[in-house]
Amino acid sequence: MARRSRAGLTGKGSESRTQPESSLGHLEDCWDEPAPGMSPIPRDGERLQGAWAASNGRRPAVLFVCGAHFAIRFADGIIYMGNFELDTKGRPRAMVMRIVEGPAKHKGQTALGFYEFDGEHLRWCTAGPGRTDRPIGFPSPDDPDYLFLMFRREPQVETRRG
């Protein structure tokens, strides 16, 4: 994924934001905010926004969603970051996740998955990065062919400025 410059969003300057490949830096440095008034994500995308903690599944993780970007941090310290697209026409709803940062063997690959909201929980399943088959239904939580996690929304933390 090519990085966009802030100039393309604000019309000011022509410098591009770059980041050394040796460090992921800060999460907020890995994507640009959408221009005011633009909402490129569907209604489900709005529900996905925020932090989610896995409450069930074989790999404990925390999922962060901001706009059409994601970051997922597994308990073993592995982090994946990238962008996603949703297809809300079917049941369960489909998700295509493009991995921009993460383990070298998965960088640049796509993970096909699906999701559904279950009350205050998010049920999420994906095939391994680079696989071309999408799961067709939620597998058992211990199925080694797919990663199936149940997430619960993390409460928002208020911050003071001053």
- pLDDT on residue 35: 53
pTM over 0.75: no
Q: For residue 75, what are its two tokens?
A: 């308990």
CATH number at residue 144: 2.40.128
CA distance 69 to 46: 12
Residue 23 counted as domain residue:
no
The verdict on residue 113 lying in a domain is yes
In a domain, 12, yes or no: no
pLDDT at residue 149 tops 90: yes
- Return d(Cα 125, Cα 136) in angstroms, integer: 10
Domain assignment present for residue 159? The answer is no
pLDDT tens profile 8-48 = 344 444 444 444 444 555 555 655 555 554 444 458 889 99
Cα–Cα–Cα angle for 138, 108, 77, rounded to 5 degrees: 70
* Rounded (5°) CA angle 84-67-55: 75
Instruction: Provide, rounded to the nearest whole percent, the portion of the chain with pLDDT above 90.
Output: 51
Question: What is the per-residue pLDDT for 105?
Answer: 96
Give which of 57, 55, 6 is closest to 28, Cα–Cα.
6
Confidence of residue 92 (pLDDT cuts 50, 70, 90): confident
Q: How far is CA 70 from CA 9, 15, 46, in A?
A: 20, 25, 13
pLDDT digits (tens, 9 = 90+) for 52-88: 999 888 899 999 999 999 999 999 999 999 999 999 8
Average pLDDT, the chain: 80
Residue 33 inside a domain? The answer is no
**What residue numbers bound the domain in which 48 lies?**
40-153
Min mean pLDDT across 12-21, 39-48, 102-111, 122-131 is at 12-21
Asked, for residue 134, whether it belongs to a domain, the answer is: yes
Q: Decide if 7 is inside a domain.
A: no
Q: How many domains does the chain have?
A: 1
